[in-house]
Amino acid sequence: MVSEMVREAGWEAGSHPLLSAVTTITAALDTATAAIAAGTDPAWLDPTDQGVLLVGITQAEQRLTALRLATLTATAGADGVAATTGARSPADWLADRLHLNARRTGGEARLGTRIARRGVLAAAALDGGISLDHARAMVDCLDALPPDLVDEQTMTDAEQALVGYCAEFTPAEVTHLGRRILETVAPEVADAIEAERLARAEREAHRRTKAT
């Protein structure tokens, strides 16, 4: 199916690296599914190879998901697939084309836009080391950092630290660690934020006392 769509779009196989990659992936999956249809069973592998297969499939899926989200973001311009077909967005076009859940596809596209603003995270996602849930946890933590106190270098340091956490912790744990990420990468900034929080609390307490 993918190869037919490539030909319909007027591209020769291998003439664009992304289309070539999709065609190659599709061919490899055709080979794998044909082997299963012919009777090949993953259970025949020894436990070590079974683990290799499971991890490889999962990481490949993560990389494809990251590439899909990056593509949804990149093609959202005025000359993108949505604009030429009357759809509101590439996500809506894709949902209609493949009969997907439009709300979920739209949510993933919005996440893709947030990821695209984070260079370290975006690169790590395309490398396959981060799941969609990890990416969501990371951008939630990063977007919550005060932009007036966190400079570009501190933000990059926070991204790199959180990417490292993703290799060791679950998305929920990354969220928990991310809430205190400044204490790790910029303690002085964390101290300033805490001081401001305490000052606000003191002002509020004083205001309430005067009101009483």
| Mean pLDDT calculated for residue range 66-81 | 94
Provide the token pair at 191: 């101290």
- Contact by Cβ (8 Å): 127, 164: no
In this predicted structure, the answer to whether residue 146 has a pLDDT above a threshold of 90 is: no
CA 92 to the chain's CA centroid = 19
State residue 209's pLDDT score.
75
In this predicted structure, the answer to whether residue 10 has a pLDDT above a threshold of 70 is: no
Residue 78 CA to residue 100 CA, distance in Å, equals 23
- pLDDT mean across residues, the chain: 89
In this predicted structure, the answer to whether residue 207 has a pLDDT above a threshold of 80 is: no
> Which residues, 6 or more positions from 82, have their beta carbon under 8 angstroms from its beta carbon?
75, 76, 88, 89, 90, 92, 93
Residue 20 backbone phi and psi in degrees, to 5 = -60, -40
The reported pTM is 0.81
Among 19-23, 119-123, 178-182, 205-209, which stretch is predicted with the lowest mean pLDDT?
205-209
Kindly provide the b/e burial profile for residues 9-47, where b requires at least 16 CB atoms within 10 angstroms of the residue's own CB: eeeeeeeeeebeebbeeeeeeeeeeeeeeeeeeeeeeee
| Mean pLDDT calculated for residue range 122-133 | 92
